[in-house]
Every structure is written in C-alpha cells, then in structure tokens.
Amino acid sequence: MTSELKNRTSSDSPPVTPPSPSPKNPVWQVAKGGIGILLFLFLLNLWVSTATLLNGVRNLFSFGLSEPQADISTLIVEKIRTASDLTTAVYSMETVVPTQQNSNFGPFTFPSKMLYIGYGEVEAGIDLSAITQANVQVSDQQITVQLPPPEILDSKIDVNRSKVYDYDEGFLNLGPNVAHDLQSLAQQKTLEKLVTAACEKNILLEANNRAELAITQLLDLTGHENITVKTSYPSPASCKNNQSKTAKL
C-alpha cells in the first residue's frame, strides 16, 4: 500500500519547469554601449598620436637630398662668356703697299717692283673665356664685374678685295721673277699697317666701351638693381706684340 501511495503521488504531481530568464536591464545595455564608444575613441586617438610621433621621428632622422642650388656668380660667369661677339670692335682699312726686290749684274741693278692694294680688318676685344668667379662679386642686389684688359684678337686680309695693282720686272724684264715673294711681303706689311692704324684709332678703348655696355645690358636681365662693370686699361704692349706676330707670317 505504501508503494502504491508513492506511485500515485509521483504520478499525480505536476511537471517541474525551469525558471524563465529575467529580461535584460536597459540601463546596463546603455552603459555597455558607452564603454564601447569610449574604447573606440581611445584606440583611435592612440593610433593618431602614434602615427604623428612616427612621422616626427622619421622627419627628425631623415637625410633627404636638398634641391640643388646654383651659385649666382657661376651663372653670371657663364652668361658673360656667351657675349664675346657683342664686345668685339672691328677696324677695317684699305692701304697701298709698295714692295721691291733687286738683282745685281756687276755694277748694274735691276729691280722688280710690285704695288699691292690691301684691304683688311683688325678685331679687338676681351677674352671673356678668361673670366672666373674671382672676377665677379655678388652681394645683396649689387653685382661687380672686373673685366680683363682688351687685346688684339685677330688681324686678317680680305683676299677677295685685295689685289696686285702693278708688277714690273724692270728694263727688258731683267729683274728677278719674285712676284710671289713680293706679294707675301706686301701682305705682311699690310697687316702691320692695319694693326698700327687700328691702335692709333684707339680700337682697344673702343673694345672696352663695347664690353662695358654689352655686359651691363646683359646683367640687367638678372634682376639685380646695381650693376657695376669695371674695365682694365689696355697694355701698351698689346699692339706691339701683335705686330711682331704678323711680321713672322
């Protein structure tokens, strides 16, 4: 009987159901979301700060190449060297040169004579290729250039405009046949006369004046306000040295 009572009791009792979970607390959900946002902002700020710090360190220890900068005096020297043709003074002249060479037969002399009309030119100027940075001084808006002395650059005969006006070997052509030698001698004397006349006409001073004007106008394009071009007085030996060179032609 006792066992029957136990079986009945166990069979008649209702089934036990587990307790349902309690609903979530809305305050906790809001707090949890705020903590997440704060954590995100913290991590974002930490990332930005780290990136800024790394860039600063990179810039501090970087050894990048700076942009090349040209020395202004070097640029001025190169610009001046291109102006050689602008500083050349030219003197041209036509002259009549007589030459003569004799041949002797005992007491008799038989000359051969030539009359040569020579036309030529003499060029004087400044060797601008000799200018170095030592000749150029740059300070703020001031440029000072010291030019070398002028010199005779070239002397030449225009063979197309020069000619033998007269050649005579004397009585019965008994004079020596030296037409070629007399023409060469006449050309040498023509060059000597050209250089002498050019120097007497102050071609070297003219070259100085042309150089001063040309270089000043050229450097005006650099934007500097004050430009001073100093010339050097020509050496008295310039013309003499050139005459000795022409005499050896």
Rounded CA separation 206/152 (Å): 12
Question: How many CB atoms sit inside 10 A of residue 138's CB?
Answer: 17
Q: Is the pLDDT of residue 38 over 60?
A: yes
Residue 64 lies in a domain: no
Q: What is the pLDDT of residues 43-87, one digit of tens each?
A: 666 666 676 766 665 665 555 544 444 466 677 777 777 766 666
Phi, psi angle pair for 10, to nearest 5°: -70, -30
Average pLDDT over residues 28-38: 59
Residue 45 lies in a domain: no
Q: Does any domain span residue 218?
A: yes
- pLDDT surpasses 80 at 92: yes
Tell me whether residue 87 is in a domain: yes
pTM given for the model:
0.62
Average pLDDT over residues 2-29: 49
User: Percentage of the chain surpassing pLDDT 70?
Assistant: 65
- Establish if 33 belongs to a structural domain: no
**Domain of residue 237, residue span:** 72-247
Q: How many domains are contained in the chain?
A: 1
Place 34 in a pLDDT band, splitting at 50, 70 and 90: low
H or E stretch covering 191: helix 179-200
In the 8-state DSSP scheme, what is residue 236? T
Which residue is it, tokens 């360190």? 57
Residue at 197 is within a domain: yes
Residue 174: left if φ>0, alpha if ψ -120 to 50, beta else—which one? alpha
β pairing state of 163-168 and 151-157? unpaired
In the block, which residue shows the tokens 């037969």? 105
For residue 25, tell me if it sits in a domain.
Answer: no
pLDDT tens per residue across span 99-147: 999 998 888 889 999 999 999 999 999 988 888 888 888 887 788 999 9
pLDDT digit string (tens) for 221-244? 777 778 899 999 988 788 876 654
Residue 19 placed within a domain: no
Q: Quick one: pLDDT at residue 26? A: 55
32 CB-side CA count, 13 A: 6
Q: How much is the average pLDDT of 154-182?
A: 92
Q: What is the mean pLDDT of the chain?
A: 78
